[in-house]
Structure formats: C-alpha cells, structure tokens
Structure 1
Amino acid sequence: MRINMQIELKHESEWAEAQKIEIGVDLVAAAKQQLKFLAAVDRKRFLYEGPALQRAIYRYNAFWLPLLAKHSESQLVEGPLVVPLDCEWIWHCHRLNPIRYKSDCEDLYGRILDNSNVVSSTQGTCSRQTEEIWTKLYPGEHYDLNLAAALEEDISERMLGLKKCTSYDLVSAVFLPGNAMIIRHLQINIFTWSTYICTRSVLVSKPHMSHDLFVKEALARYKGFLHLIRRNREKSIRRFCVPTYDVDLMWHSHQLHPVSYCEDLIRVHGQVLEHDDMDSDRSKGQKLDVGFSGTTNQWEETFGRRYWKAGAMYRGDSPSPVTLVPFSSKSKKSKDLFSSDEYQNIVQVPDVKFVEVLLEIVGVRGLPESHKGRLSVEFSKSQPDLFFNAKQTLSILSESGEKMVASFNCEPKGELLFELVSPSTSPIKRTPRVLGFASLSLQDYLVPVSKLSDEKWLELVPSSGYASSESMCLRVGFSFTVPNPALFVLHMVRFRPFTKNSCLFPLTGWTQHAKSWTRVMTDAGTEVITLQMRNSKKEKDNFTPRKEVIGITASGETCTMAEFVENGWSLLDSRWSLRFQKPSCENSHLCMLIGDRVVNIFPGRKLDYEPKHHEMQKKERDFVTAVEFSADSPYGEAVALINLKSGVVKVREEPLLLTMVVLAFVLSNIMENEGFEGLPTTEDNVEADNLIKKESRFPVVGKENTTALPVESQVELNGNAVKVNKEVPANSPSTASGCGSGCGSGCGSGCGSGNMVKSGGFGGGHGSGRGNMVKSSGCGGGCGSGCGGGCGGGCSGGCGSMVKSTSCGGCGGGCGNMVKSSGCGGCGSGCGGGAMVAGSRQHT
C-alpha cells in the first residue's frame, strides 16, 4: 500500500511540474480561432490545389509578407491588420514548420514576422483600413483573391521574378499529413477521420471540440506532452513522441504564434522544437505506430493517467465528397426556418444526448488470500440506455499485462456498474464468481459537465464469502466527450388490410388504417403521424390520376402532406418541391428538394454516413442520403439518411423531421410500385436481411460487435471493445434467458437459423427458416412458417422478425418485421418488405 502511495505521489508531482510550463499566448482562444478559420478555408476548397493555390502562394510571397514586414516596423493602420483569407491559409501552412518559417523570415526580412496586431478575416473585424493600405501599395492586385484571374493566368513567371520569396515548397506544405489532419479532423469531428489530404473535409467541427473544458484539458495535456520531451532530453533518450489529436491541436495553435513559440520552447527545451508532419503511415511497426506506443507507455508511467482521450483518437478513413463543385448561393441556411410553421409541431420526438466513452481497467488491489485464477471485470449501465444496453468484459491491465480499452456510446446519465469476476472452479457450474461490485456516476462528471477524463480507485463492495483483510479496489481510467445531441430516428410501419382469413380480428380504432396505412413511430412505440398514398380527390386534368400523401396527426387531424404536380412532388403545402433527374454518373444525385434550403438526395450512404471498415457495398442500394447545400456548407452536409428497405429515417435536425419522413414515404412508394433509375425496385431487394437490431438503435456493446484493434492507432467509438495485440472473440451469442422451445428457429429447439436475445417467459412454438426473436416477454405459443418467427397466439408466413414484444400475438404474410409492440394483436408487417419497428435516436 505504501509503495502504491509513493508511486501515486510521484505521478502527481510530475504532472504538477508539467503544468508549470509557461505559454506566452492564450492557447484556448487560439485553438478556437483556428477551428473557426479552418471551417472558413474548407468552404473555399479551391485553395487546396491548382491555379488558385498557386495564386495564393504568389500573393503570400509578393504582397502579404512584405506588408506584414512594413506593419511590424511601423504600424500602418490604427487598428489591427486583417489578413486576406487566401494569404492566411498559406501563412498558416508555412508557420506549421516553425524552424523553416523562422529561418525564412530571418533570411528575407531579418526577423521573425509575428502575428501580433494581426487578425484573421474570420474574426469579423472590419478590413476597410487594411484594404485601403493594400490598394495603395499594390494598385494592380485585389485585396481578396480574384478567382477568375487565378484560373486564367499562369503565375509561374511572376513567381520567378520575385526578389523575396521562400524556397519552401508551400504546395507540399498544404498537403502535409499534419496540415491535412488539422483541416479534416478539426472540421469533421475533432480529428475523427484519417490524417491525409485536406481536400476531403466535408463537415464543420463538432460542438465538443470547441467546448471550453475540452480545450482547457487539451492545453494541460499539451504541457504534459512538452514535459515528456523535456524529460527525454534530460535523459538523452531519443524518442519520436506522437501526440493525440487534442494535443496536436494545441501544438499547431502554439506554432501559429511564431515568436511566442520560439521563446517558450527555448525556455523549456533550450531550442525550438521541430514539428514533423511528414509521416502518415500508421501500419504496425512503422514510425508513427512505434512512436505512439512509446509515448503512451512513457505518459502512463510518468503521470499515472491514460494517454488516450475520448474524441481525440484516430477513427479511420475520411468520407468521400459528393461533389467537387461548390454550391454557389450566398444564402445562409437557417435551422430555425420552420420554427413558427404549422407543420413544425406535427412530429415531436424527445431530445436525446449521447457521449463517447473510453474505459480501461488499470489495476486491482486488496484481493482475498483465497483468490485463485485470472480476474476480469464486467461492466454495464445501471438503467436502460438507448445506446448502451449490454454487459461487456474487460481484462485488468495489471493482472493480464495487456491493454484493453472499451469504446462505446451511452446517454450521459445513470451509473456504470462494475463486477470483479473470477472464473468458476466448479466443473459443473461454469458461471463466473463475482468477488465484488462498484459503480461510477456519470452525472458527477457530466451533469453539469465538470471533468472529461479521470482515473481513480473505486472501492468494491465484496460479495458474500469473499471478505479481505483490506478493502478491494479497482483502478479505472475513463474519458468522455461533451454530451452531444443524438440523431432523430423514426420508423415507418406498414399496415395492410385485414382479410377474412386473418388469424386475429382488428382491434377497435384500427379500421381507419385498414387500407395500406404507414405509421411513423418513435422508440417508445408512440405514433407521431400516419401516412397513406392515394389518388387525389381534387379535379384531375385530362382525367389523369394524381397522387397525394395524406397524413393523420397524433391529434386526429387529417392534412395533405404531399401532392404530385406536373413532373414532380410538392411537399408540405409547397414549402418543398421534389424534382427527379436521370443520374448522369454513379455519384450524382437522384432528386432534389428545393425550398428555402437546397437538399439533394444521393443513392447510398454518403459523407459522415459513409460505411466504415469496408462494409459490403451491396447494402448501399437500400439507402439514400439527404445532403444539404448552402453558403455554410457549399460542398454539402449530410442531414438525413433513409433506409428504403427497413423504413428507418435518421435526421440530424428537428425542423427537417417531417420533411424527411414524407420524402422517405414518397421514395419508398415510387421504389415499390414504379422504380426509377438509381434506386432498386422491390423485386431487387430479395434478401431477407435482419435490419431491425442494426437500424432501431446504435449498435450495443456486445461481443458480437467486438473488434480487435491496436489502441495506439485505432480506437473504435462505435460500441466496441478494443483489445491491444490480441484477438477478441467476435462470435459469442447474445444474452438469452427464460426461453421456451421453438419459435424463430433460433430460439429453443427450432430449426434453420435465427437469434434469440434477452427473452423472458417465452412459451412454446415452432418455426422454420430464418427469424429473430429479441427481448420478448409473455409470448404464448405460436408458429412461423417460411422465413420468420411467429410469436404469440398467432401465425406468420414469409420473412419476419418479432422484437421487444409484450403479450402479443400476430399474423402476417410476406416480408416484414414486428418490433416493440405492446399488448396488441398486430399484423407482422404485411407484404412487400414493410416493417414495424420502433424509433430511437442515434449519434452522428
């Protein structure tokens, strides 16, 4: 115990020493400004390559640096100098090689050209005075980049004629992995994607990146990083130290203030610290991999805290852009556009937030003397959670010698529960023995947000028969992101007319839905609106039938949601116009929503919905992505994802909920009845994929989702546990209890293939083919034929699944799923690929 306390005191002493490092600039403010600037640059992607980049480099050397040199000698304007955006982009990339920037400035101008009394054009400061002095000094050159002139003129000869010009390859500097990393990772999700070419960024930064607490903790970790390098120099240790992305954000922000950076680094290290961004190879055994492993070990040995950080880890390749041509409109999008609209309140779904969590069991102490065998820890949530609803097992680093980090998403409430378990020694009873319990309250850290990472000893409450001479404790390291809004997720549930041969009678109140109604439901099973496609009752020109979508709101009011007019659709009383086009190429959009906002519908999953880990592309035909174009997002922002096969609609913002639900309904109807180029018809979707569990909520943390990845280079924030240098079983079954015989062929004694997950009190029955039964309680005996699971006192034919049902029996024919029904004798989705599914919220 005393040894442990001494080690912990040493760790705290090292951390305190690191925090004494003085930084001559406000890096918290500088980091936030850098994020804002990079967002502006990403809206001008012509600055990434080609003639515009060449012109920007010329303007930087010929005009900006000389102007900055004059301004540093004697202030040219009363206020701060405002740097043009294109020049600031090149200046940004030049400064990220601090040693080269220092030598270039000294060679060309005799001193380092600093950014004191200079502001970015993105800071909202009036640039009139700067433009006036610019025009006076350079009458033939516009203050802002003239893109048309840049595209027409070959600037190479003018570059050769410059007397003062850096020989540093600024074109390559723009494409350095480090610069690209900052651009893409800050823009998409605090370094959420890969570290390669910066031209692939498509989204603005996530809220947690610029949150005060996240940035302040990043600053503390940056000082810790500088301290490690100082210790290495003191001990003459040669180590390539690799930062996590939050640390690298602060490092880049520091370099953007070149005088302060040089002075601070000389004071700490005796020399200016080089920033090596040339390497992007993360494969095993390469420089980045070895360097990151060494930095991780040194950090944890020096400070006694985890080096990984939620929201700051590598997460794979960046998504592909949907277009290389920016949207030209100058109109700003308004997320509150329809806040006062009569349609706004028709669909209401509760707001849900999520956090990303990284978790590691570092050590254990105070074990009973009678303990034998290898220990592990099982963890779960204390209350139902939309994103985290399974028990997971982690090894203990001090016991196993291997690092295993759990990565998952959950709601920012409740408690994490931990059970210290030991393998059973009984040859008959193989259930692990529980030695003790502990808990960790999420509210203590996240309500309100007070701390995003910690490492502490949790005292275990011993199980009976496992008393110890001292308290048993678990050392747990954990990290969170700031809570973020989850996606709105709704599900379309198809209902077909009842027939005389139906095995159940329709309940009172359901007769109004007897003609192919589709109900739109939330996760709780709440109906938010019911939709039907029908022929319009209005006068028809030339007796040509006209289609319309009728909706019945939760209050019982009937209204027209969409009408077919001329060669397209009018949605929500002409607020949106849906126009179709013949796809000109593989990546072109299928149709366009035109209103006060512009939304194109692309086939497949695009941008931040793009499938990761090389998922099978054949499933892409089931999806379309709604991509909004605006002055804020000229290259498109993914605002919704629609699964036309399962009826799942995922929407980023509430004002678009009803619009996307109506759009999904119209597209599903066209696909089923007519089909159009670029989207499959119903006959194309013959695969009976079980999409219920995958689409109704975020993937649970379970062994079936576990991925073995080295934490030094990959941490998957998708509900997976990540084990280092050792494979994790990926085929373990889901939890099942109280399951009777038969039903769905995966439950009890059935035949064929299927799955039974978390079932209680399930009666006898039988089924053949493929089917799934998930979270059912109180189901009577039933039968299922063909490809499905018929539950309750009823029958089912065709392809179907029953999920989360309580005391229900059902019937259905064809392909369909029934999910989360309560106390009803329903119809198992009817025919033609319909689905009855609950709604949920997902994170981005």
Structure 2
Amino acid sequence: MEPQQEMEWNEAQKIPISVDLEVVAKKQLQFLATVDKNRHLYDGPALDRAIYRYNACWIPLLAKHSESPIFEGPLVVPLDCEWIWHCHRLNPVRYKTDCEELYGRVLDNFGVATTVEGICGWQTEEIWNKLYPDEPYNADLVNLLPEDISKRISKLEKYTKYDLISAAKRQSPFFYQVSRTHMKNDLFIKEAVARYKGFLHLIKRNKEKGIKRFCVPTYDIDLIWHSHQLHPVAYCKDLNEALGKVLEHDDTDSDRTKGKKLDLGFSGTTRQWEVTFGTRYWKAGAMYRGNAPSPITSNPFPSSITCKKVVSSNEYPQEISLPDRKVMEVLLEFIGVKNLPEGQEGDLCVLFSKSQPDAFFDAKRRLSILSVSREKQVASFRCEPTGELLFELMSSSSSKLSIRKSTKTLGSASFSMKDYLDPVSKLYVEKWLELVPGSGTMSSKPILLRVAISFTVPVLAPYTLEMTQSRPFSKNTCLFNLPVRPQHAKSWTHVTDENGTRIISLQMRDLKNAKNIGNPGKEVVGLMKSGETRTLAEFMENGWSILENLWLFHLPNKSTNDGHLFELTGANKRVRIFPGRKLDYELRHNGKRGNEMNFLTAVEFSIEEPYGKAVALLDLRSRHVTAKEKWMVLPGIILTFIASNIMKKEGYEGIIAKSKDLKVNGPNEENEKTVLNGTGLSSTNMCNEDEGITYKSEISIGGCGNAVESGGCGAGCGGGCGNLIKSGGCGGCGAGCGGGCGNLIKSGGCGGCGAGCGGCGGGCGNLIKSGGCGGCGAGCGGGCGGGCGSMLKSGGCGGCGGGCGGCGGGCGNRLESSGCGGCGGDLMDSKCGIDEHFNEELKYVNEEAVTA
C-alpha cells in the first residue's frame, strides 16, 4: 500500500461495531446449515405456515418478552420462525419500519437463543402453548396440505405486509455460496470482518463525495454484513454513527449478465477498492460459485432408517494405507512490472507453474500484466500447499522477416508456500518480487514484478485412484464361448494413486467352495502390498457382500423412486449409487448429458445429511475412483471394479466400446465389428479387444456361455440366453419370435432382438430391469409393442431399429426411457430419450448489494 492507501485502510478499521461479528458469523453458518437440512422451509406449504406462525405467534411473543421479560433466561425461537425472522431482518430498513409501526420499537434479539445453540426451550414452549393452544410450539411442517395462508394472516390484528415468501426464496441459495469448509476458519472470518469495515468505508467515502454507486460485496464480506443485520438494534446504531443512515440491503437483482447492474456494480466496487486501499478486491474462496447443483431428491431421507451417529473414518477397518493430501484454492494476478531493460520491445506476459509435482496443478499457464495490457486477468486454480510458485517474465516479438514470434525470458522469481502456510499466518499477499535476470538480459536495476496472491486455508483433498489391467486383452480370445476359462481372465487390475504407486490389485474369480456346482458364484480378491491375498467381496443371493459383511452392495428397494441404481449399506452408514455425476460432481460447464453414462455417484444419507452428500465418483470407462472420505476409498474401488466388469461383460456401449466403432443392425464396414440392439447388448458372441468388448456379426450361433451359467442363444424359437447371474430364454437374438433374454439381474423375454423383420413382443432385459422388446432389430421395422430396456430403465420399443419403424413404445437410452414410435435409423444418432445438460460459467458477482 502507498501511504495514503494505508491511511484509508487504517481509518476503515476504526469503524465501531458493537457486536462480535466473528462469533455471530459462525452461529449464522451453523443456523443456515440446519435450515438446509429442513428444505421444506424454502418453499411450499411449510414456508407459508412458517410465515403465519411468525406473524401470529413469534413476533407478538418477542414483543411481549422484550417489553417485560416473561421468565428468566432466553426465549428459544422455533426453527421455522427463526428462518422467517432471519429473512425479515435481512431487509433492515423494512424490518425497522415494520417493528416501529406494529410494536412501537425495533424488536432486537437480545435475550433470544437461536435453535442451534442447544439450549433447552421448555420454558418458551410452556408459555407458547398457553398463549397459542391451537398452534403447537414444535409443529409438523413436513406433512402439510396446500392452504391459502394469506387469508389466515389477514385476519391477524398485527402482521407485516412485507413479501416474506419472496425474501425466503431469495435467501435460500445463500447457504450454498458460504457452505465451504474454509468459511468457518477463524483467520478467514477475521479477515472478512476487516474487509467488511473496508466495504463500509468505501460507502462512507461515496457519501462524502456525493457519489451514488451500486456497491457489490464478495461473499466473505456478505457473510459478515448479514451477521451484522441479524442484530437490528446494533446495526441501526453502528450504521448511523458510521454513515449517518441505516444501510439498505438490496438482494432483488440476480442478473449477472455482462454489462448489467450487478456486473457493472461489481466492476465499479473493484476499481474503487483497489484505488482506495491498493489491494485486490477479489479473494480466494469468497467468489460466486455458480448455481447450486441439482438436488437428487426433494424428500429428506427418513430419519428412522438413517444412521444414529456419525461414524468417523477410523471406525472402519482400513485395508489399504493412503497418505493424506491437502489442497487449497488460489487466485493470482500480476499487477505491474518495473525496471525493464532499455529498448525493451514486444509483448509481455508471465508464465506460472509449480516447482514440484502437484496432484492438482501440474501445468504452465500464462497471464497478462495489468499495468502493461490494461486488461485485468485473474487466474483461479487449486494446488497443494507445498513447494513454490514459479514466475517467468516473457517477452515475445515478431520480425518482418519471420512470421513466427520469438520469445525471451527476461527474468524469473519464486514464491514459497511454506512461508505463509506453515503455519497459516495470512491468506493474502501482494508484494514486489525481484527477478533473477534471464540469459542475455541486461538491466541497470533489478526487474521487479508485482504479484497478488490469495489462498484459502488448506483442507484435506479427495483421494483419487486409477485402475489398470496388468496386460492388454487378446484380440482373438472370446470370453464366453470357450470350454475353459482363458488365461487372461487371471490377469490383475492394479489400483494406483496419483503418483503411480500401486495400492492394491484386484481379480474376479469363481468361488471354489460354492454349494451350487452349476452356479459357482463369484468373488473379488485383492493382492495387498504385503503380498497377502484377501477376499474383498463375494456374490450372494441378495447382492455382493463386501469386506466380510461390513457392507452389502445390492439392488434398491422397489418402494424407492429417487433414481438410484444400487445401495451400499453398512452397520452405521447408508450409501446410494446414482447414475451420472451428481451434487458436487455435477458438470460445471456446458456439456451433453450423454457423457454421464460412464459415471456413478455414491451419495451418503444420514441424519446430518438427509438430502444426501456426495462421497465418491466412480468413472467406469477410465476406471478412476475419487473419494472424499477415506472410509469410502476401498468400497469405491471394489464397486468400480465390480460395476465396470459387469458392464464390460454385458457389452454396454458408451462404457467400454468406442462409439465410432459401433453400428446398429449391421457390421462396421471397416472393421466388421458389431451389432447392438436397443439395450446395448450384442445379439452374438462377446469377444475381447484392446479397447473393450466387440462383437462378431454372425446371426446363427449355438449355446452362449456366460460367466456363471451358459444358455442357448440361437436363432429361431426358444433357447436360453445366459447372463452374468441368471440365464434367460432368448428365442431369436437373431430374427425370430418369443423367448426370454437375460440381463444382469433378471431375465426377460426377447422376441426378435436381432436383424430381419422384428418379432412380436417379449421382454428384452437391461442392466436393472427387463422390458418387453418387440422387434428391436434392423430390416423392415420392429414388431408391435414391447419394452426395450435401457441401461437404467426399460421402455416400450416398437421398432427401434433401422428401416421402417414399428408402432409405439418407448425407446430407452442410458439414463431414461422415452416414447419412441418408429425410431428408424441408427440408434447412435437417435435423439430419443436423450437430454443435454448445461451449467452456468463461474462469475465473480454477488447477488446482494447496496446503493450508496
């Protein structure tokens, strides 16, 4: 900072605040997290009823208690009333006006305990029940019928006419923006309080100069601003002393489009801050995160079947040893450069990288310099809190004789992470760095580069592992039509960490001691680092037993309808497996949902997380496992291994085979590869290739053996087509009529799934459920009706193949089934049941601002 800028900052820090904002901010984060576990309060009948209870019960009770305490000790406000009270206070001017009009004074929170403090509320409940016998203190707001609550409110003697429904809906997304781990850190909150005072100082200077500006806070400042407003009497007093008025809080504008009010307001606030204080306005971990990811369920998981306690990682046996790794968010900007060599020409930029291998940041990136380009560029990235950041000042110029630009390194410098993170002393640094001259660079003074760096407190990083085969598959070996198991079936799948270190190796085997000789079953064994071989999973009648019955991996209960494919249940935890990238793993950029077919998301449900918390992402194509918590690492590895093997053997396109190699209802002209039917299953033998399973083009074949049981799979009528677990009759998985075509779990009739003129009816199995498939083949269209199974759900499919489509039915895709009457043509190009997913790009704009 320059002397004048330092003086401005010191003046800002003198603004008196009469409440402990650091303590209040932590309580607010805890309260918002509690409300988020009760999302029925965000909208619908529960929100309407909460607003009625707030007007009819809580505010009158608060007014009575504040005038003359009803009893010793604090009032304990019910959660629903506190949520409405919270939203009302976040419009401080309106709240002050309403309180004064209705009760003659501002109703403060002195002598009131928040729901999350754990203070017993029996005294409050006793008084409440006496005053409001028809409105229980702890009301059930989950199972409510829609009601026009406005009529009941209008009959009250006193009530606010402020639109509290809209206020609650505007505030409900705020928690997502401030719910990150580092937000609760003491140093982060302390710096946020100092920045809030700086924010108020800018508004004060605008008022003194007669400037009217729309000031937009970053989310760390906004958190503290909210905390201040939650104490309405102190807020009015402090703001009147500092600014001469109560500062309004405008949260009604949410348009972040470039050039609109919010965007211009944020840009203006940034410029004013940086000119006034000489530091950067942006802050790592405090910027807009984008919209919250889509919820996987609108109903909370029933508390009666969630785990009763939060189980720590060390209560689960760790079969593999993994080092903990930390990660932090970083924002970086190059502000200026001094003492360039005389006669320096060409464009300047800075390359930055890490001095040592980094699991999260291993690239070399380029940024412009603000004072040179006049263009503000801020890099945002994650990295480990180790080593050094390296900066290289580059000059590039082009000559008349050459089209190519020549580049030259003018100098380099480094920034040590350890100096600031061991221990964490400050989360923001802006300084001049002296560069070591590059080869051939001559300058009378050392070249100086001004660097601004902001970072979050390091937190535990997710565990990322990769699964690879010990050797590639042979192109000439079939998995399912040999009398004996091929040698390559004994190959191991190795699991390695980010550094390529082997953690464990896995293998799928037949159970040697199975009671049913005809159906020997399966097991997954692991080769440990010690050389010991252990059984990690065993297939049983009701699913896979994992880690000696610590977990059960099974199909979902039929009564559930939230879209999950499997469940992983243990003594104290319940995890559901959903298709695609969900919650924290949701795509944050534009992309087709078709890519989601390769992913599964593991979501834990508990009393603490009734709407689910993503704990792992399983990539079945690349066989990558990303687990947020250590207890999920080994189950995640085992699930990925089982699921990818099942998918591979079942021949699901998009997870194993390359789409460019696949065709529907006919061989590939170049490679004579495969024919897929509507379920993504081949109608012929399955054979291995380096890139995955491909298929031969023969139609008439004999018995088609599977991993467990063989089944006849020939053209014509009848025959059993075996799957991984159970066999199913498959009459004409070439042309033909009738029969059952087995899937992963259950068999289903499959009438004419192959080429030719499709048959009539029958069930064509998919991964989870079977569905009737009337003529999914090529040729003169399919038959009449029937359900063509997809990867996830089955759907009626009357003629999904090429040629003249059949009549009616739904043609399933990888995610959902969809009505498809006569979807002639190549399935790979079909638009049936396909959805596209888009996500807003990250922008550094908050929705809440003030005009001052």
TM-score when normalising by structure 1: 0.74
Q: Report deviation, 1:388.
A: 1.5
**Residues 10-42 of structure 1: CA deviation (Å, up to 9, x unaligned):** 111111111111111111111111110000000
Q: Which residue in the other structure is 2:236 paired with?
A: 262
Change in Cα spacing, 1:583 to 1:419, as seen in structure 2 (3 Å) is farther
- Aligned: 1:476 with 2:448: no
Cα distance in 2, alignment partners of residues 487 and 512 from structure 1: 36
Output the amino acid matched with 2:616. A
8 Å contact from structure 1 (residues 591, 602) kept in 2: yes
Q: Which residue in the other structure is 2:294 paired with?
A: 320
**Residues 736-784 of structure 1: CA deviation (Å, up to 9, x unaligned):** xxxxxxxxxxxxxxxxxxxxxxxxxxxxxxxxxxxxxxxxxxxxxxxxx
Q: Report deviation, 1:687.
A: 5.5
- Pairs within 5 Å for 1:541-556: 541=516, 543-556=518-531
Q: Which residue in the other structure is 1:237 paired with?
A: 211
Change in Cα spacing, 1:465 to 1:569, as seen in structure 2 (3 Å) is closer
8 Å contact from structure 1 (residues 365, 472) kept in 2: yes
- Aligned: 1:403 with 2:376: yes
- Aligned: 1:147 with 2:141: yes
Q: Which residue in the other structure is 2:638 paired with?
A: 662
Q: Which residue in the other structure is 2:463 paired with?
A: 488
Q: Report deviation, 1:607.
A: 0.5
**Residues 188-224 of structure 1: CA deviation (Å, up to 9, x unaligned):** xxxxxxxxxxxxxxxxx22201101111111111111
Q: Which residue in the other structure is 2:748 paired with?
A: none
Aligned residue for 1:350, secondary structure, equals: coil
Cα distance in 2, alignment partners of residues 117 and 160 from structure 1: 29
Q: 2:390 aligns with which of 377, 395, 417?
A: 417
- Pairs within 5 Å for 1:738-817: 814-815=690-691
Q: Report deviation, 1:454.
A: 2.0
Q: 1:646 aligns with which of 598, 615, 622?
A: 622
Q: Report deviation, 1:514.
A: 6.8
Cα distance in 2, alignment partners of residues 544 and 303 from structure 1: 75
Change in Cα spacing, 1:148 to 1:472, as seen in structure 2 (3 Å) is closer
Cα distance in 1, alignment partners of residues 441 and 150 from structure 2: 79
Q: Which residue in the other structure is 2:364 paired with?
A: 391
Cα distance in 1, alignment partners of residues 84 and 188 from structure 2: 28
Aligned residue for 1:273, secondary structure, equals: coil
Q: Which residue in the other structure is 1:610 paired with?
A: 586
Cα distance in 2, alignment partners of residues 284 and 656 from structure 1: 42
Output the amino acid matched with 2:145. L
Q: Which residue in the other structure is 1:246 paired with?
A: 220
Change in Cα spacing, 1:479 to 1:133, as seen in structure 2 (3 Å) is same
Q: Which residue in the other structure is 1:694 paired with?
A: none
Cα distance in 1, alignment partners of residues 63 and 116 from structure 2: 22
- Aligned: 1:599 with 2:599: no
Q: Report deviation, 1:816.
A: 7.5
Q: Which residue in the other structure is 1:351 paired with?
A: 324
Cα distance in 2, alignment partners of residues 64 and 325 from structure 1: 27
Q: 1:634 aligns with which of 610, 614, 617?
A: 610
Q: Which residue in the other structure is 2:747 paired with?
A: none
Cα distance in 2, alignment partners of residues 55 and 455 from structure 1: 51
Q: Which residue in the other structure is 1:366 paired with?
A: 339
8 Å contact from structure 2 (residues 657, 692) kept in 1: no
Q: Report deviation, 1:150.
A: 4.0
Q: Report deviation, 1:307.
A: 0.7
Aligned residue for 1:548, secondary structure, equals: strand
Change in Cα spacing, 1:113 to 1:647, as seen in structure 2 (3 Å) is same
Q: Which residue in the other structure is 1:72 paired with?
A: 66
- Pairs within 5 Å for 1:328-727: 328-329=302-303, 331-332=306-307, 336-337=311-312, 339-341=314-316, 344-424=317-397, 430-495=405-470, 515-541=490-516, 543-581=518-556, 588-595=563-570, 596-674=572-650, 685-686=658-659
**Residues 579-631 of structure 1: CA deviation (Å, up to 9, x unaligned):** 22599999611111122211111110000100111122221110010111111
Output the amino acid matched with 2:162. Y
- Aligned: 1:278 with 2:252: yes
Change in Cα spacing, 1:241 to 1:294, as seen in structure 2 (3 Å) is same
**Residues 326-371 of structure 1: CA deviation (Å, up to 9, x unaligned):** 1012545766456244xx2312221111111111100111222232
8 Å contact from structure 1 (residues 495, 514) kept in 2: no
Aligned residue for 1:436, secondary structure, equals: strand
Q: Report deviation, 1:324.
A: 0.5
Output the amino acid matched with 2:239. L
**Residues 245-288 of structure 1: CA deviation (Å, up to 9, x unaligned):** 11111111111110011111111111111110000000011110
8 Å contact from structure 1 (residues 497, 516) kept in 2: no
Unpaired stretches in structure 2, ≥5 consecutive residues = 478-485, 663-670, 674-687, 694-852
Aligned residue for 2:347, secondary structure, equals: coil
8 Å contact from structure 2 (residues 395, 407) kept in 1: yes
Aligned residue for 2:378, secondary structure, equals: strand
Output the amino acid matched with 2:611. Y
Q: 1:287 aligns with which of 261, 273, 296?
A: 261
Q: Report deviation, 1:108.
A: 0.7
- Aligned: 1:94 with 2:70: no
Change in Cα spacing, 1:333 to 1:228, as seen in structure 2 (3 Å) is farther
Cα distance in 2, alignment partners of residues 30 and 685 from structure 1: 55
Cα distance in 2, alignment partners of residues 327 and 286 from structure 1: 40
8 Å contact from structure 1 (residues 460, 473) kept in 2: yes
Cα distance in 2, alignment partners of residues 529 and 333 from structure 1: 32
Q: Which residue in the other structure is 1:838 paired with?
A: none
Q: 1:126 aligns with which of 106, 117, 120?
A: 120
8 Å contact from structure 2 (residues 398, 406) kept in 1: no
- Aligned: 1:173 with 2:170: no
Cα distance in 1, alignment partners of residues 657 and 557 from structure 2: 19
**Residues 453-509 of structure 1: CA deviation (Å, up to 9, x unaligned):** 12111122223543433332111111001111111011111235888999xxxxxxx
8 Å contact from structure 2 (residues 475, 689) kept in 1: no
Q: 2:132 aligns with which of 133, 138, 142?
A: 138
Output the amino acid matched with 1:531. L
- Aligned: 1:162 with 2:156: yes
Unpaired stretches in structure 1, ≥5 consecutive residues = 1-6, 187-204, 503-510, 690-784, 788-811, 818-844
Output the amino acid matched with 1:578. F
Output the amino acid matched with 1:216. K
Aligned residue for 2:361, secondary structure, equals: coil
Aligned residue for 2:490, secondary structure, equals: coil
Cα distance in 2, alignment partners of residues 350 and 334 from structure 1: 26
Q: 2:176 aligns with which of 161, 179, 184?
A: 184
Cα distance in 1, alignment partners of residues 63 and 230 from structure 2: 17
Q: Report deviation, 1:439.
A: 1.6
Q: Which residue in the other structure is 2:769 paired with?
A: none
Change in Cα spacing, 1:337 to 1:210, as seen in structure 2 (3 Å) is closer
Q: Which residue in the other structure is 1:104 paired with?
A: 98
Output the amino acid matched with 1:230. K
Bigger Rg, which one: 2
- Aligned: 1:308 with 2:298: no
8 Å contact from structure 2 (residues 496, 502) kept in 1: yes
8 Å contact from structure 1 (residues 674, 681) kept in 2: no
Aligned residue for 2:453, secondary structure, equals: strand
Aligned residue for 1:368, secondary structure, equals: coil
Output the amino acid matched with 1:379. F
Q: 2:9 aligns with which of 3, 8, 15?
A: 15
Cα distance in 2, alignment partners of residues 530 and 249 from structure 1: 47
Q: Report deviation, 1:387.
A: 1.4
